[in-house]
Amino acid sequence: MGKVLKFSGNNIDRLEVERRDVNWIEEKLNDPNSKVLVYYRSKVLVKKIFTNITLKFLSLGDIKSKGIDPELIVLGSIAEEIYLATDLAKLDEDFVKENLLSDSDEFIDCRTAGDQLSQNQGGIISQSKSQLEWNRKNLFCGIDGGETKGLRGGQSRKCLKCEIELFPRTDPVIITLVSNGDYCLLGQSKGRLSNLNIYSCLAGFVDQGESIEEAVAREIMEESGIKVKDVKYYASQPWPFPWSLMIGCHAKADSDEINFDEHEMHSVKWFHRDEVLSALEDKNDNLNVPGNIAIAHHLIKAWANKEV
C-alpha cells in the first residue's frame, strides 16, 4: 500500500457478502448490541480524553432506551462487532445532548476531528459521513421523483416507482503540484483559501470521459495558463466534504508565464523551494500552505524535500 493520509486507513470490514441478505441487515439494524457512531448535523460525536479525542460509539440499545428511533446505515464490522451510523439532525439538539452525551462528549466538525483522530478512526469518518450525506440527499429519484428506499444497509437505494437502483457517488478530484526547477506553482482560489491567505496546489474535478493526466493538464491550464508534462501519480485521499476522492499528482511545467483565471482564482504564483521549506516549518510570514490534514501539504512537502 502507498502513502496513507488523513481520512484513509479505515479498518472496517464492509461485509459485502452479508449485505446481500435482507434478513441479516434487518437483524443488525435492530440489534441492541450494535455500536452506533452518532452525528448531529454532520458533526461527529467524540469523547475527550485529556488533550486527545476518540470517536464515541453508543450501543443501539442505549439510544433506543431514550425513546430515539434513529435512521441507520451499516458501516461493517471490526473484530466481529457491528458498527452503524446515524445523523440525529431531525431531533432537538438539547434533547440529544441531555440524553446521549456525558460531560466529556462533544459534537465537533469533521475536519477538526479528522486532524486529531487516529488513522483508522479518521477513515471511519470518511466512510460514515459520506454515506450518511449521500443517503440524505437521495431520498427521491432523480428520474421520476419517486421516493427511494435504502438497501444493503445504506449502500444503495431503490426508487419505489420506477425501481431503478441508485449507488453512492464518489467525485474524483485531481490536485497537482507543478514544478519548474527550484520553483513550484501554488494558487489561492477565491473564497476559503484567499480568506485564510493560504496558497495550495491547483485542483479540480475530473470531467466525464477524461483521464487523470488529461484532467491535470486541463485544470492547470484553465487555472494558471501553464502547460504541463510528465504527470506522475503520488497518492490519493478520501475527502468527505461531501464525497470526493483527491487524486494527488506531481507534474513538470512546460511553460512558465502565468495567466490565471481571475473568475476562479484570487492569485497564482511561482514560489522558490526555500520559501516553501520555511512555510512548511511555519517560519514564513509571506507564505502559508495547507496543514497536515490535506493531501496538498504532502504533495508540497515531497517536492520541497526532493522526495519526488
Does residue 296 register a pLDDT over 80? Answer: yes
| Dihedral over alpha carbons 300, 301, 306, 308 (to 10 degrees) | -60
The model's pLDDT over 32-76, given as tens digits with 9 standing for 90+, comes to 999 999 999 999 999 999 889 999 999 999 999 999 999 999 999
Q: Kindly report, residue by residue over 181-213, the tens digit of the pLDDT.
A: 999 999 999 988 888 889 999 999 999 999 999
Q: Using pLDDT thresholds of 50, 70 and 90, give the confidence band for residue 2.
A: low
Sheet holding 148-151, edge to edge: 148-151, 156-159, 165-166
- Bridge partners (DSSP) of residue 48 are 53
Provide the pLDDT confidence category of residue 3 given band limits of 50, 70 and 90: confident
Could you give the CA distance from residue 34 to residue 269 in angstroms, rounded to a whole number?
51
CB 239 within 8 A of CB 246: yes
Nearest to 258 by CA among 197, 182, 202: 202
Task: For 165-177, write each residue's pLDDT tens digit.
Answer: 999 999 999 999 9
Q: What is the mean pLDDT of residues 131-157?
A: 97
Q: Find the farthest-apart pair of alpha carbons in the chain and give their distance in angstroms, rounded.
A: 65
Residue reference for cell 483565471: 261
pLDDT tens for each residue of 258-284: 999 999 999 999 999 999 999 999 999
For residues 277-292, give the mean pLDDT. 95
Quickly state the pLDDT bin for 9 (edges 50, 70, 90): very high
Q: What percent of the chain has pLDDT over 70?
A: 99
| Mean model confidence pLDDT for the chain | 96
pLDDT of residue 90: 96
Instruction: Find how far residue 242's CA is from the centre of its chain.
Output: 6
Q: Which grid cell is 28?
A: 443488525
Cα(157)–Cα(141) distance, rounded to whole angstroms? 9
**How would residue 23 be classed by pLDDT, with cut points 50, 70 and 90?**
very high
% of the chain with per-residue pLDDT over 90: 95
Say if residues 58 and 100 touch (Cβ distance below 8 Å): yes
> What is the C-alpha separation between 261 and 264, in angstroms, rounded?
6
What's residue 196's pLDDT? 86
pLDDT score, position 1: 57
List own/partner pairs for 133-141 with CB under 8 A and 24 or more apart.
Answer: 133/42, 133/240, 133/242, 133/243, 134/168, 134/169, 134/242, 134/243, 135/73, 136/87, 137/242, 138/166, 141/166
The long-range contacts involving 261-267, CB below 8 angstroms and separated by at least 24 positions, are 261/222, 261/223, 261/224, 264/189, 264/190, 264/222, 264/223, 265/187, 265/188, 265/189, 265/190, 265/223, 265/224, 266/187, 266/188, 266/189, 266/190, 266/193, 266/194, 267/187, 267/188, 267/194, 267/199
pLDDT of residue 192: 83
Cis link prior to 242 (omega < 30° from 0)? Answer: yes
Rounded Cα distance between 240 and 243, Å, is 4
| pLDDT tens digits, one per residue of 223-259 | 999 999 999 999 999 999 999 999 999 999 999 999 9
